[in-house]
Structure formats: C-alpha cells, structure tokens
C-alpha cells in the first residue's frame, strides 16, 4: 500500500483529500497522515480519511511518518520549504502551484530534486483538464488548420478564504500573477512553447499589489491574450475560459455554459464535442471556487501511474512548474511598473 500524507487541509487540501478518496477505490493507497494548524480543517479532513494520524505541524508529520507520497497544499510561500524537506527525506512530492515565489527557490528546488532523485509532480491542473486537453489536441493535430489567435481568461471575486488572509499579501501569494494567472501562463507554455514577445498591462491596489493582469503574447504567427483578475465583488462567480480562432473554426470554452466547449465551423455548422471525462464528481466541501473533482483525480492518477509503473512524468514535471514560475516572475516585474 502507498502511504500518503497531506500537509495543508484547507481548500486545495480538501480537494485532494476527496480525489485520493475516489482513487482509493482503484489503487492500493491511503492517506495515513494529515497536518493543518486549524482544528476545523483537521476535523474536516478526518471526516474524509478517518484513520489518518493528525498533526498541527507539517514538520512533525514529515519527521514522524513513513510516507511514499506527500501532498503539499500549504500557502504558496511555504511550498518550496516543505518540498525541499520532503525530497531530502526521499519522499515523492505532489506540489501545488506555484512551486515557489522566487528565482532563488526555483534553482534550489531543481538542485535538490537532482541530488535526491525524488519524484515530483506539480499541480498545474489545467494541463489535464478536459477542455484544455481538447484544445491541445486540436492544435497539435491541425484539425481546423493553424491556430491564429487565442484569448484566455480567469476571473474571480475577492479572495478572502486564506489562512490569516495570506492571499492579500504579495510577499506570501505572489499576487494574482503567481496565484491565478500562472494557470494560463503554464498552459500556454505547454501548448505553444515560450513566447517570442509579450506586453503586460496591469492594475494595482493601494498597496501596490497587482489585482488584474492582461498579457498579450506572440508565439510565432499566433497572437494570444490572457487575463486574470481576483478582486471583483465577493459574490462574482468564478469564470474561466478561452476562445481559440483556427483557420477553419472558432472553438469556445466557458465554465459558465452548459455546453462547455462549442465549435463554430466555417461551413456554418455548430458542433459540441464529447470530452469523455475520466472522472466526474462535484463536491463543495472545500469551500472555495473549486467544486469539480475530476481534474484533480486525473492529475493524481497520473502521478500514481508514473510511480507504480516507473514511468517518466512528462506532463507535470518540476522543471515545467519552475519554468512557469520564472515566466510569471518576469510578468510580475512588468506589472509592478504599470
């Protein structure tokens, strides 16, 4: 049996607790240890995995438990510290995005992984989300010709659910750029490679932290725009999507639409493709803007398969998580100058 620990049982941690519970029906795994400073989070986690040992401190969990995998779902500024500690103990790591918040930590993470040989999967979940996998397939196969332009967006209400309001501190969250925008930055790199040119426009709050960013890119002949914003009114419904303009069709995705992906073909036809999700479950237990468990199930299943079959992690490796942080750090510096 693969023993799993989860450090950080807040919103994202709860999402992963639910996905591992679903996967336990197919794999010989169990969450054997959980850690969180907040008793309410520990209680909720124990309701999902009742047999797990409980810790207030993640450091104590790493010291006392013998684990095969640890999921690090802490506030962003703690990701690198705990990932390094886990790798040094030869524990395989599922590391939530962003992997870190500084260039120095980017370098150190890669050095420690190379030294220890620990397996690391980065939770850049958009890469395995059905709607985005479909876009990548269309682009690579040239189903509707070349991708001429792509518009992406990721919009939410003001984030107030973090422990001690850490999202609102740029030193702890990296602002909207490294928390929200990084999803689309990472997927763009996965889809199109590194940009040839980019232009950043941003809006900052009174403390100087970017709350909204709109970046325009050029990847060869393809023009791209990506927007992220997280300070709309609190009740603003989370919205993400894309509009991909190919030579012979425009493909639109919005999480707000019942028909999530729609293709408008240049012959006048309208097509709604079958995405065939690997797993479907909606659960609001996490208390954040995420309720669909499916993509988190898929990324964890992929990690388990890589470990059990000794396969290379080609989709969500640490080096890619690091490269996306480095790209976002460049955009953050430009945003701060706006």
Tokens in use for 37?
């400073």
Rounded-to-integer distance, Cα 287 and Cα 139, Å? 35
Selected from 3.40.50.720, 3.90.1150.10, 1.10.760.10, 3.30.420.40, the CATH number assigned to the domain covering 2-124 reads 3.40.50.720
Tokens in use for 311?
């396969």
Please report, for the chain, the start and end positions of each structural domain, with discontinuous segments joined by +: 2-124, 126-278+317-336
pLDDT digits (tens, 9 = 90+) for 255-283: 999 899 999 999 999 999 999 999 887 76
Q: In CATH, which superfamily holds the domain spanning 126-278+317-336?
A: Dihydrodipicolinate Reductase; domain 2 (3.30.360.10)
pLDDT digits (tens, 9 = 90+) for 111-163: 999 999 999 999 999 999 999 999 999 999 999 999 999 999 999 998 877 77
Two domains, one topology: 2-124 and 126-278+317-336: no
Residue 282's pLDDT is: 77
Q: Is the pLDDT of residue 286 over 70?
A: no
pLDDT digits (tens, 9 = 90+) for 99-125: 999 999 999 999 999 999 999 999 999
The answer to whether 127 and 187 are in contact (CB under 8 A) is yes
First to last CA, the chain: 52
Which residue has 């220890």 as its token pair? 116
User: Which are the contacts of 10, defined by CB distance < 8 A and separation ≥ 6?
Assistant: 36, 38, 41, 73, 161, 162, 163, 286
Average pLDDT on 161-179 reads 91
Rounded-to-integer distance, Cα 142 and Cα 314, Å? 22
Q: Is the pLDDT of residue 288 over 80?
A: no
Cross-strand pairs, 292: 282
Helices and strands per DSSP (H, E), number in the chain: 11, 14
């Amino acid at each position: 049996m693969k023993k799993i620990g989860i450090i950080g049982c807040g919103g994202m941690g709860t999402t992963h607790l639910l996905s591992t519970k679903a996967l336990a029906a197919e794999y010989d795994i169990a969450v054997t240890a959980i850690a969180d400073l907040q008793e309410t989070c520990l209680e909720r986690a124990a309701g999902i995995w009742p047999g797990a040992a409980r810790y207030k401190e993640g450091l104590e969990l790493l010291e006392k438990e013998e684990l095969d995998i640890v999921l690090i779902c802490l506030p962003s500024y703690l990701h690198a510290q705990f990932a390094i500690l886990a790798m040094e103990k030869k524990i395989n790591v599922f590391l939530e995005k962003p992997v870190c918040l500084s260039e120095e930590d980017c370098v150190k993470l890669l050095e420690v992984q190379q030294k220890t040989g620990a397996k690391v999967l980065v939770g850049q979940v958009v890469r395995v989300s059905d709607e985005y996998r479909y876009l990548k397939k269309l682009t690579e196969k040239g189903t509707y010709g070349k991708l001429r332009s792509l518009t992406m967006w990721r919009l939410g209400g003001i984030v107030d659910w973090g422990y001690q309001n850490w999202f609102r501190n740029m030193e702890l969250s990296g602002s909207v750029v490294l928390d929200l925008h990084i999803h689309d930055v990472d997927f763009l790199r996965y889809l199109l490679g590194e940009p040839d040119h980019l232009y950043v426009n941003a809006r900052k709050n009174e403390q100087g932290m970017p709350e909204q960013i709109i970046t325009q890119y050029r990847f060869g002949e393809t023009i791209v725009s990506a927007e992220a914003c997280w300070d709309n009114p609190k009740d603003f419904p989370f919205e993400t999507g894309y509009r991909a303009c190919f030579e012979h069709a425009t493909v639109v995705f919005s999480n707000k639409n019942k028909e999530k992906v729609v293709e408008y073909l240049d012959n006048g036809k309208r097509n709604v493709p079958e995405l065939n999700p690997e797993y479907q479950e909606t659960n609001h237990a996490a208390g954040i803007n995420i309720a669909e468990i499916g993509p988190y199930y898929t990324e964890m299943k992929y990690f388990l398969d890589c470990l059990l079959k000794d396969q290379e992690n080609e989709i969500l490796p640490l080096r890619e998580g690091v490269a996306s942080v480095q790209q976002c750090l460049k955009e953050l510096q430009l945003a701060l100058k706006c």
